[in-house]
Structure formats: C-alpha cells, structure tokens
Amino acid sequence: MTIKKFQGRTEEEAIAKAQEEFGPQTVIMNTKEIKPKGLSRIFKDTTYEVTAAVEETEASSSSKKLVPLQMPGNINVAADEPISIPGPEPDPVPIKEMFKTVENTWASSMSQAAAEEKPKDNTAEVNLEKKLESLQTLLEKKLAPKPEAKEIFPKEAPADDNLKFVKMIYSILLENEVDEKYVNQIMDEVEKVMKGGVSVDHILSNIYQKMILKFGQPQPIELTGPKPKVVFLIGPTGVGKTTTAAKIASRFKVEKGKKVALFTADTYRIAAAEQLHTYANILDTTLTIVYSSEELNEELEKAADYDLVLVDTAGFSHKNEEQRNEMKELIDNVPEEYDKEVYLVLSATTKYRDLLDIADIYKKNFQFKLIFTKLDETICLGNILNMKLYTGADLSYATYGQNVPEDIEIFNSQKIVKFLLGGK
C-alpha cells in the first residue's frame, strides 16, 4: 500500500489531486483542515489536506516516481513512502525504538519550533512545516492501529494516538527516574495544548520546549572584576571534586589563557593534595594548601594577580555538622571585595533520597550552583532535573569521565532533555 497526503484550497480540490495521481482506486483515509499559524495567517487562506492510499500494484501504473524529501542527518523520508502494515505487536510501541529513528531530526525541528510564535517569513514557516510533517509521518507509522483496512485512520484516531503518545512519554520519563510529581507537572502543562486535535509532533515539540525551560540557562564560571574570582567546590566524599577542579582549571588556563591558582582545603585526605599537585605541575601553576579561613585570606592576597582561584574542599558526610561549620566559616570569611561563588558538586549516580538529604543540608548554609559528575556511569539522568527543580539552583557544568581536561562541558540542557525523552 502507498500512502500520500494531498493539499488543496478546498477538500474537493485535494481529493481531486489524489484521484488524478492514484487513479479511480484511490481510498481517502483522512481529511484535515489546516489553518495558518503565526502572523502569516493574516495573508494565507485555510487549506485542506487529505490522506489517500492505493494498493501498490494499482498505484504503480498510475502514480509517478517521486523524489524523496531529504531530511537532516541520515534519514530519507518521502510523503508517499510505502508503508507496509505490520501484524499485531505489543501495545504500547516501545518509545526508545521510536525516538532512535527520529533523533537526528530533533535538533533542527525543535529549535525552529521554539520560535513558533515569533514573526517569520513564509519560507521559514514552510521549512518548519516540512520537517514536522516528516516527523509526524514517522510517528504515525509507529502509532498506527492494528490493521483492518478501513479502520487505519478512523476519525477518532488522532486523539487516541495523542493519548498513547503522551502515555509513552510519561513512562519513559519515569524510567529515567524523573520524580513523578515533576512528570505530572510537565504533563499537566502539555494537556492544555492537546485540545483541538493537535498533531503528535506539536505535542513532542511542546514537551521538549517545556523541559528545556525547566532546566534554565546554564551558568558557568564568568570572570569579572579586577580581583581574582574565588570559586569553592563543595560536596560529599567521592563525587569527583578534585578532578572537576583540575578540569575547570585546564579549561581556563589552556583554552582561555587565564592565570589560574589551585587551592585545597582538603587536609583530611593526603591523596587529594597529591592528586591536585600533579595536575598543578602539568598546568604549570601553583597549588596551595590552606588550613583555616585566616590562612586562606592571606594566600588570596598573594594571588592578587591571578584571574581565577579554585578551592577544592574536603568531602565529608553531609551529616557531619562540625566539618560543615568549618567549611561555612572558610567561605563566609572571604573578604567582600572578592567575587566568590560556591558550586555544589553532585554525582549523577547518587540515590535520589540521598541527593534530597544532601541538598537540604547544604541549602541551609550556602547559596550554590550545581555541577553534576559521572554522567557516563548511569543510564538514568532524571535526578539532574529533579535536583534542579528541587533546589532552584542554576546548573553550570557536567562531567562524564576521568580524562582531564576533556570530559567536562557547560551543561547542555538540549542533550539531557533528548536523553530523558528516549534519545541517545
């Protein structure tokens, strides 16, 4: 069977185009009214779209050979691409398999969809419609009901398919360990756009955009002011603070040509100081061990000509009140003329319940931004979104390996959202 969509100024014109190409055996499977969107709706008229089909043996004698539409990446999608109707399969369709097929089309489709309500010319709108149409075609093939010829696209199918699609998104977010209350928040917001028979691609675009907004704009370290910026890395034992300090130092010294000093207040682990000393030698910079807030301030005065001072702190249980108070004193006593920032380093492999306890303790004492480490050691990244929404703190960096300086990047919300929705 060959399926193709035809458009016309009226429903009759669209049907006539289908019959002209497919012949008298044309089967009209669905009819849809398309209203213009955006500012261009003032100048464009409503059009009609029909989905027509014909058996392959009959279509071959009456239809012309069409050139497939070229999509971004390695996906070729044609509006009249033959669709073989599959036999019964498990319900629902595996969401991960579906997103694997379309992942290379997301970046361009979603970035343009995000600008949907901004003024745009007709060319941009046509390009967006083509991309979303191709995405919708792929999703329709996955979501198509079990075959019984005349019931492939019943009138109520779009609503049924939308509901099935949203349920699959719901399931995959839970599988990625996004807290159910946050999943419900997203779905409650999406429900508002599902009224009126919107397409699956519009729903997908809306979910994607809302999740990007929830992550917010990443806030990496910015160097401002005449004195060096003082950055403290805090967090539990074993999350990778020392390695993260080395990666950040390397980015600023090697890539940006800045003068960076490394301090460590971790006097509990000899190995930590030795590790950081090794990195300091490689970067041809200094390493200073500080034991108190007074000593820290003295060393900061000596580092007045540096652009950035990174302070690696001791890792300890968030339940250890004595050590926590020592760290608070260390940070609070930095003179006001210094621009200081605190970054809470968390591992993506830590259990959600423990992350909540850690966040509760640190929120009482510090105003911080978030760095997530060990993204390469887990297949579930939902806790990143959970902690962003729970703490309200800005995200800054993500690390995904032990290699210095390679395995670090400014937090990429698009990549994480794509992963959370089943992409790779």
Q: Are residues 251 and 373 in the same domain?
A: yes
Q: Are residues 58 and 157 in the same domain?
A: no
Q: Are residues 174 and 242 in the same domain?
A: no
pLDDT of 103 reads 41
Report the percent of the chain where pLDDT is more than 90: 35
pLDDT in tens, 196-227: 667 778 888 889 889 999 999 999 999 987 88
Write down the pTM of the prediction. 0.63
- Residue that is last in its domain, among 65, 95, 110: 65
Domain membership flag for residue 223: no
pLDDT of 157 reads 39
pLDDT in tens, 69-110: 333 333 333 333 343 334 444 444 443 343 343 344 344 444
pLDDT band of 390, cuts 50, 70, 90: very high
pLDDT band of 387, cuts 50, 70, 90: very high
Q: Are residues 99 and 49 in the same domain?
A: no
Distances (CA, A) of 180 to 162, 374, 386: 20, 23, 10
Does position 283 have pLDDT exceeding 90, yes or no?
no
Q: Are residues 273 and 361 in the same domain?
A: yes
- Calculate the average pLDDT of the chain: 76
pLDDT in tens, 42-79: 556 788 887 777 765 543 444 343 333 333 333 333 33
Q: Are residues 132 and 188 in the same domain?
A: yes
Q: What is the C-alpha separation between 139 and 165, in angstroms, rounded?
A: 9
Q: Are residues 41 and 143 in the same domain?
A: no
Q: What is the C-alpha separation between 318 and 365, in angstroms, rounded?
A: 11
Check if the beta carbon of residue 309 is closer than 8 Å to that of residue 298. no
> Which structure tokens are listed for 392?
């309200």
- Residue that is last in its domain, among 34, 65, 96: 65
Domain membership flag for residue 93: yes
Residue 319's domain is classified under what CATH number? 3.40.50.300
Does position 158 have pLDDT exceeding 70, yes or no?
no
Report the percent of the chain where pLDDT is more than 70: 69
Domain membership flag for residue 73: no
To which H or E segment does residue 377 belong?
A: none
Buried b (16+ CB within 10 A) or exposed e, 47-59: bbbbbbbbeeebb
Q: Are residues 151 and 259 in the same domain?
A: no
Q: What is the C-alpha separation between 213 and 230, in angstroms, rounded?
A: 29
Q: Domain range spanning residue 179?
A: 87-214
Q: Are residues 167 and 133 in the same domain?
A: yes
- Residue that is last in its domain, among 185, 214, 243: 214
pLDDT in tens, 175-188: 999 999 999 999 88
Q: What is the C-alpha separation between 288 and 376, in angstroms, rounded?
A: 31
Q: How many domains does the chain have?
A: 3
| Average pLDDT over every residue of 136-165 | 52
Q: Are residues 120 and 252 in the same domain?
A: no
What is the rounded radius of gyration, in angstroms, for the C-alpha atoms of the chain? 28
pLDDT of 83 reads 32
Does position 372 have pLDDT exceeding 80, yes or no?
yes
